Amino acid sequence: MSDVVPPEVRPKPAVPAKPPNVGVPSPSSPFPPQGPGIGGVGISAPPPSGIPVPIGSHGPSHVGSHGVGHGMSHGAGHAGSHPAAHSGGHGHGGSHSSGGGSTLLGYIGIDTIIEQMRKKTMKTGFDFNIMVVGHSGLGKSTLVNTLFKSQVSRRSAGWARDEKIPKTVEIKAVSHVIEEGGVKMKLTVVDTPGFGDQINNDNCWEPISKYINEQYEKFLKEEVNITRKKRIPDTRMHCCLYFISPTGHSLRQLDLEFMKRLSHSVNIIPVIAKADTMTIEERQEFKQRVRKELEMSGIEFYPQKEFDEDMEDKSDNDKIREAMPFAVVGSDKEYQVNGKRVLGRKTAWGIVEVENPNHCEFAQLRDFLIRSHLQDLKEVTHNIHYETYRAKRLNENGGLHPISSNDTQESNL
């Protein structure tokens, strides 16, 4: 009988030590310390919601946010569900590649991509373009100033009080650079004086629709250039705030027609203006009536149901859709209330506090528009509305011919 040869014993591979500076943020870093991740891999907390990340496609960009911030934050118990759904992994404890790779033996640093994107955004800044539509006297300029806590509206930039209402719809754009926490945002506010102010308002949405499409065309022409700019200027409308008059009855035919025609080319967010002119009961009844009329007319406002990416998105957006249209009050004047300085409107019966949720829904609109959905508004604009326009144009013309730098110079002569 032959002797049994014991199996060869090999020493275990040494596990590389985690860098000492990973997981312990610098005093200036806004991120909390890294917590335990999946399979022993540390995972950074996502950046604050006020700091958007650069635009990617609506799919891959959300892989970065949902796959890390959403799928991994649930802990190791859910490690096999969300990452598997997004990237093809199938394990419970370790991280696996889509090709069935082995468990990570130590820290790599993949999670630092979030911090890299944050730094990039802070260096370059980003664009956000918002359009306000509604007939005169609804407080459009005041609300925009209140949203961004600065004088950014057209009226604040040299508008005269004796300015007459234009006979046709005009497009007026004003741009400002706003900086907060080291993040720069180039904000463009587009106003539409003259909309809905005439006796005959037939087709008064056409100049607005034309302007929106012109911005898509501008971006498309820059994209097809042979020599493209490193960063294409983005003048596309990311959001359209549509102001509804607080009649308490029903929507005007013009309201329905405008939203129906433009809801497929821009993100429309309807708001009820000057909500302090209605009682709380009247406001709730009016909101329900508006939602019902929009539903009966087949008008979908942002956030649209078909763009919900997962159950978490659906749950969050359902709450927002149920609360819309937001009944808001705008004011850029401060008053003293209970020892605090608050933005509000002074009446004979007291002060209407703009940011008090018991008085109006301005705070909900601001949180939704800026703090939770600003990046998504940009992504839906780029990946849905702009792509729809782009596909239509390319199909119509059989493809746009690239423009070389020489052609551009000749056209300018």
Residue 35 belongs to some domain of the structure: no
pLDDT of residue 79: 38
Give the residue from 223, 294, 217, 311 showing the smallest Cα distance to 260: 294
> What are the start-end ranges of the E strands in 39-135?
41-43, 126-133
The Cα–Cα gap between 92 and 359 comes to 48
82 found inside a domain: no
Write down the pLDDT at residue 192: 93
End-to-end, the C-alpha distance of the chain in Å comes to: 98
Q: What residues pair up with 174 in beta bridges, in sequence order?
A: 189
Note down pLDDT in tens along the chain; length 413 residues: 445 445 554 555 554 554 544 444 444 444 444 444 444 444 444 444 444 444 444 544 443 444 434 433 444 344 344 443 344 444 444 444 455 567 888 999 999 999 999 998 888 999 999 999 999 999 999 999 999 988 888 765 555 555 666 767 889 999 999 999 999 999 999 999 989 888 888 889 999 999 999 999 999 999 988 888 888 999 999 999 999 999 988 899 999 999 999 999 999 999 999 999 999 999 999 999 999 999 999 999 999 998 888 999 999 999 999 999 999 999 989 999 999 999 999 988 899 999 999 999 999 999 999 999 999 999 999 999 999 999 999 998 766 665 544 444 444 44
The reported pLDDT for the residue numbered 165 is: 65
Structural domain count, the chain: 1
Q: Domain of 318? A: 210-396
> Residue 278 falls within a domain, yes or no?
yes
Type and span of the H or E element at 325: none
Q: What angle do CA 294, 260, 148 make, to 5 degrees?
A: 80
What is the CATH classification number for the domain harbouring 274?
3.40.50.300
102 in a structural domain: no
Residue 300, classed as helix, strand or coil, is: coil
Question: Which runs of consecutive H residues, i.e. helices, occur in 125-230?
Answer: 140-148, 206-223
**φ, ψ of residue 353 in degrees (nearest 5):** -85, 120
Residue 100 lies in a domain: no
In this prediction, residue 403 carries a pLDDT of 53
In a domain, 223, yes or no: yes
CA nearest neighbour of 68 among 104, 33, 101, 111: 111
Domain annotation covers residue 59: no
Does residue 260 sit within a domain? Answer: yes
Cα–Cα distances in angstroms (integers) from residue 168 to residues 201, 207, 209, in the given order: 9, 9, 14
